[in-house]
Structure 1
Amino acid sequence: MALDTAGDVTSALLWSFGLAWLTWYAWKWRQELQVERQFALQNGCKPLRPWNAKWPLGLDLFFKALRVSNEGHILKFFQTIVDECGSTFVQHLFAVPGIDTIDPENLEVVLSTNFNDYDLGLRKMTFQALLGSGIFTQDGAEWKHSRHLLRPQFASNRAQNFVQIQECVERLVRSIPADGEVDLQPLFFKLTFETTMFLLFGEYAYDLEGVTEHESSFASAFNLAQEYLAHRGRLGHMYWLFNGKPFRDACKICHDFIDTAVAKALAASEGKSQNSQEEEGNYIFIDALVQQTRDPIVLRDQCLNVLLAGRDTTGCCLSWTFRLLARHPQVLNKLREEIADVVGIGPDAKPPTREELKRMPYLAIMLKEVLRLYPSVPVNSRAAIKPTILPIGGGLDGKSPVFVKKGQAVGYCVYVMHRRKDIYGEDADKFRPERWEGDELRYIHNYAYLPFNGGPRICLGQEFALLEVSYTVVRLVQLFPRIGVPSTEVLVEVGDEKQNLTLVRTRDGDEG
């Protein structure tokens, strides 16, 4: 009987504790809600337009996104949603509200003006299986430290970097057959892989036995792992659902590959002081990292993060550049004329110097137009770490401020913003480099063009990437005056996996 009484007392205490906790939680939630409402009212915030989901939890659009992603048309799908919902709207996926925007005014606030109101949100957890903790998954002090380590590689190593680009491009040229069709995309990704490996590991990259043989298996695994990351990103808090064995195996292949390079660098760094590389006039990323830590996991994570940016974004830019040049002969001819005037055309023409590349304005705007239509990072997001606001998007007219609650994600699609006809004209979907000449786009908002992001997290390697792309384009146009696509190939604008191009070497002076 005493035991039963004790059990009753314990049960009553547990119920009382549970009820008290629920009461406190409800009171706290109510207080926070009142504070948020007052904050929104004081800033003149109005509700956002909803997205066009028809099913509960947004499942209809989620499943459609999975399907079109597999078909290679996810960006076209995003374009359709924006066309129907407006430039800033709220989505409710799995009952979690998020904000989507392509308004430059909002992006300036998120990426720059109110930079400290946001972090990367779920990116760290979503990408951790592949990238671990590195510059693209870190926030706060960790991110600032990583950026500090990487900056000297681009700021003080320009001459050495350019020499490496030249050597890698010449190897690419030698691998192209004298005539006929060639799939350029794998060659471009191999090129950017080599240059980025040199950025990371310097001379150690050449000591990796069989690096070229293993690069193909690494590339396949890296591509597969990134496909999984894309799906995980779209799932939001449910990212862990995409964690199958193929994904885990792909991550392991990538980790093993970089671990080999890290082990070589660690062995070579024994007894090497931090001042030695400064005395030699070289700055190798792995050397600087080793001075901070010899933890191979930390080193691997940082190197994988940089390799992701250096290999993939630049490789994609080169692929799209030559696809567009091949399909727009008038642009190619105009570019060829500029190259001929500055450095010459043909097998005997000397390779361009960095200074000569700067004397090619049409080359610059052509690449600017490529990155407008096909930005290397077309979709991105941030998450609010405190209650904050966006300047526009609220109300029926979309002109009022918008309240962003703590923890809420703000997603933005640069690909869609770069094709806004009210910003870039009625032909915004067309490849026309001349739009960047004169006054046509001189007065657009600074955050209406974001191929390299903006604000404090703007891409550190943009100058290096543009140098690599510019030199590669000029060199190939010099040596292959006729560039086209196979006549049997259908026009595929987005998501095509192969970039089959026809390059033909001609005699000196024959420009096709």
Structure 2
Amino acid sequence: MYLSLLAVLILGISAGTWQVSRSIAAIRHRRRLAQQHGCQAPPSLPQKDKFLGTDVSFEEYCKFRSNSYLEMLKERFDSCGHTWACTSMGRTSVSTIDIENIKTILVTDSQLYGLGRTRSSVLGTTLDHGIFTSEGNEWKFLRRMSKPGFSASHVNLEPHIQSLVSQIPSDGSPVDLQPLFHDLTLYNATSIFWGQDAVNMLDAQQQSLSRRINAAICKAFEHTQEVMVFGPMAKLLQSSSTEKAIKLVYGFIFDNSNAAFTLKNHPATQHIVHDKTVSGIFYDQFGAHGFDTAHIQIRQMFMAAEGTTAETLTHLFLLLSRHPRVLDSLRAEITSQLPNGTIPTASHLNSKLEYMNACVKEVLRLYPTVPFNNRVALQDTVLPRGGGPDGLSPIVVPAGSEISLPHYPLYRRKDIFGDDAEEFVPERWLSSDDEKSSDSWSKQSENYLPFSIGKRACPGRQIALETVRYATVRLIQHFPYICDASGGRPWQENCGATLQSKHGAVVSMRGKMEFDISIDSGYGSDNVS
């Protein structure tokens, strides 16, 4: 007994000594790094509890629940500078909106930063394990497999647009476009992923299913944001309604994956599976690796794709309804380039409709669909800026530190985007060649990263942009006059993994034009380069 206790005591002392030695070695290593690179400490967020950061965590929780989290973040950067450190939930974290730091983390030294346990394991309770939560060779494989699916060449939006148009009153009656845009992207996503429309946009019962699926995805993504903010503690915030929402979405995706897999492998359809409308572009890519692989990977991509495009459209039309001058200019461009309701081609969408593209850029700047990015330092490393009184000296980032890269405060920096940084001004993206060579233009373009940068940049960039552009053109062709019908209610965030408008986009639309439209001539492979 005595020997056993002695052994335990010796083991404990040895472990403690080893841990202390390890900590001392780490401190010395960081000091050498600081001396080698001329590092200085970054500003610290004022906080009372410097050990666990409970005061910071409580403030974040309250702001998150009151739908004012992003504005709180912006105020912190206004107060502390473009890079600062704090302790939250017992974790050391660095937050930065300095583009040099962002490029270092996502591009130059990306191998020194990982997703961390928060994103890869805890976040997996919502999104499961797949392309957005994997790293290394597994991620490379999944990225390579999914790449062919992120092409706009197989997208035919026109049937979905016609269904959407039929649900919008043309007499000026108020309508909330947000659920309609989520319907649109849900139907479009099911076509892309599974090659079939999971629900009929005009069928009342199936439309109800669509709304429940969209609400469930929103609820699930609210929990993902809790995970990003509160880490493993977010499990304590997961309610039964969140679990039900995740279960509903998973069931919907499973049913459609199973139907597509059965159809693709059924002898009666073998002669037509070469037609990409039968089993879906993405399912064709992953299906060869078995049902489980295809289903799990599509689950992540479907949930990510459904909400981002819908909310971009929601915010765009909300802003257009409140900025008649911008709407007038956009309408004039569309009428000039596409007279008599001509269906746009890829050439129109990508280059000829310059003002429309500026509007899309501007809405993604003001309301980035993915408001956060984050990484974890895999080893002691250095960021090029953020230290010292002027914030221009390098800083040491200890191994294990969480690094937050919030887009919302970055895109509202007045030193980059001007004094009107918080206003909807598409013209900021329309400049002459001489203006584009100026320092101010270069700073503005360099700091605009709506789809991120580096090897993990969003692969769905082109298909998302063309979907937004096409839907915008077609809706304005049908409804040239749009005004706000919300009663002047100010915008409020609903911040999950995607940024949503809490109160939707309640508008009044008039002036429905009558065109002779052939759905077969819709936006399809013959119209896209």
TM-score by length of 2: 0.88
Contact 2:199 2:207 in 1 (8 A): no
Unaligned runs of 5+ in 1: 1-6
Q: Deviations over 1:247-267 (max 9, x none)?
A: 222211111111111111221
- Of the candidates 428, 432, 439, which is equivalent to residue 435 of structure 1? 428
Structure-2 residue corresponding to 1:3: none
Contact 2:264 2:273 in 1 (8 A): no
Change (3 A) 1:493 1:128: closer
Contact 2:179 2:211 in 1 (8 A): no
Change (3 A) 1:269 1:50: same
Structure-1 residue corresponding to 2:380: 387
Q: Deviations over 1:53-96 (max 9, x none)?
A: 23453333322222222222211111111111111000111332
The answer to whether the aligner puts 1:136 opposite 2:135 as a matched pair is: no
Q: Distance in 2 between matches of 1:339 and 1:448?
A: 29
DSSP-derived class of the 1:49 partner = coil
Contact 1:265 1:287 in 2 (8 A): no
Q: Distance in 2 between matches of 1:507 and 1:88?
A: 51
DSSP-derived class of the 1:457 partner = coil
Change (3 A) 1:366 1:307: same
DSSP-derived class of the 1:176 partner = coil
Give 1:487 deviation, angstroms.
6.3
- Of the candidates 126, 136, 141, which is equivalent to residue 122 of structure 2? 126
Give 1:497 deviation, angstroms.
2.6
Contact 1:51 1:90 in 2 (8 A): yes
- Of the candidates 53, 77, 84, which is equivalent to residue 82 of structure 1? 77
- Of the candidates 244, 269, 292, which is equivalent to residue 289 of structure 2? 292
Q: Distance in 2 between matches of 1:86 and 1:65?
A: 18
The answer to whether the aligner puts 1:174 opposite 2:170 as a matched pair is: no
Contact 2:84 2:386 in 1 (8 A): yes
DSSP-derived class of the 1:235 partner = helix
DSSP-derived class of the 1:423 partner = helix
Q: Distance in 1 between matches of 2:215 and 2:133?
A: 22
For 1:261-410, what aligned pairs fall within 5 Å after superposition?
261-270=256-265, 280=275, 284-295=281-292, 298-344=293-339, 349-357=341-349, 358-410=351-403
Q: Distance in 2 between matches of 1:46 and 1:129?
A: 38
- Of the candidates 77, 89, 92, which is equivalent to residue 94 of structure 1? 89
Q: Distance in 2 between matches of 1:362 and 1:469?
A: 14
- Of the candidates 13, 23, 29, which is equivalent to residue 29 of structure 1? 23
Structure 1 stretch displaced more, 95-104 or 203-212: 203-212
Q: Deviations over 1:142-185 (max 9, x none)?
A: 21111111110124xx3321x2x222111111121232111100
Q: Distance in 2 between matches of 1:103 and 1:276?
A: 55
Q: Distance in 2 between matches of 1:508 and 1:195?
A: 24
Contact 1:204 1:261 in 2 (8 A): no
Structure-2 residue corresponding to 1:42: 36
- Of the candidates 45, 59, 65, which is equivalent to residue 51 of structure 1? 45
Structure-2 residue corresponding to 1:425: 418
Give 1:507 deviation, angstroms.
5.8
Over the residues paired in the alignment, what is the CA RMSD in angstroms? 2.4
Give 1:410 deviation, angstroms.
0.9
Q: Which amino acid aligns with 2:403?
A: V
Q: Distance in 2 between matches of 1:446 and 1:110?
A: 19
Change (3 A) 1:337 1:240: same
Q: Distance in 2 between matches of 1:74 and 1:293?
A: 41
Contact 1:104 1:445 in 2 (8 A): no
Change (3 A) 1:220 1:204: closer
Give 1:216 deviation, angstroms.
2.1
Change (3 A) 1:404 1:481: same
Q: Which amino acid aligns with 2:194?
A: F
Change (3 A) 1:145 1:446: farther
Contact 1:392 1:402 in 2 (8 A): yes
Q: Distance in 1 between matches of 2:356 and 2:197?
A: 34
Give 1:212 deviation, angstroms.
4.2
Tell me the number of residue pairs that the alignment of Structure 1 and Structure 2 aligns.
493
- Of the candidates 509, 512, 516, which is equivalent to residue 503 of structure 1? 509
Structure-2 residue corresponding to 1:225: 220
Structure-2 residue corresponding to 1:412: 405
Q: Which amino acid aligns with 2:154?
A: Q
Contact 2:67 2:492 in 1 (8 A): no
- Of the candidates 95, 112, 127, which is equivalent to residue 117 of structure 1? 112
Q: Distance in 1 between matches of 2:397 and 2:489?
A: 44
Q: Distance in 1 between matches of 2:192 and 2:27?
A: 49
TM-score by length of 1: 0.91
Unaligned runs of 5+ in 2: 495-501, 516-529
Give 1:245 deviation, angstroms.
2.0
Structure 1 stretch displaced more, 359-368 or 233-242: 233-242
Give 1:214 deviation, angstroms.
2.4
Q: Which amino acid aligns with 1:453?
A: S
Q: Distance in 1 between matches of 2:217 and 2:401?
A: 30
Change (3 A) 1:198 1:313: same
Give 1:344 deviation, angstroms.
2.3
Change (3 A) 1:420 1:32: same
Structure-1 residue corresponding to 2:452: 453
Structure-2 residue corresponding to 1:482: 481
Contact 2:200 2:207 in 1 (8 A): no
Q: Deviations over 1:177-205 (max 9, x none)?
A: 23211110000011111111212111374
Give 1:408 deviation, angstroms.
1.0
For 1:187-202, what aligned pairs fall within 5 Å after superposition?
187-202=180-195
DSSP-derived class of the 2:441 partner = coil
Q: Deviations over 1:207-247 (max 9, x none)?
A: 99975442222222221121122122211242332233222
Structure 1 stretch displaced more, 335-344 or 484-493: 484-493
Q: Distance in 2 between matches of 1:303 and 1:501?
A: 34
Give 1:505 deviation, angstroms.
3.0
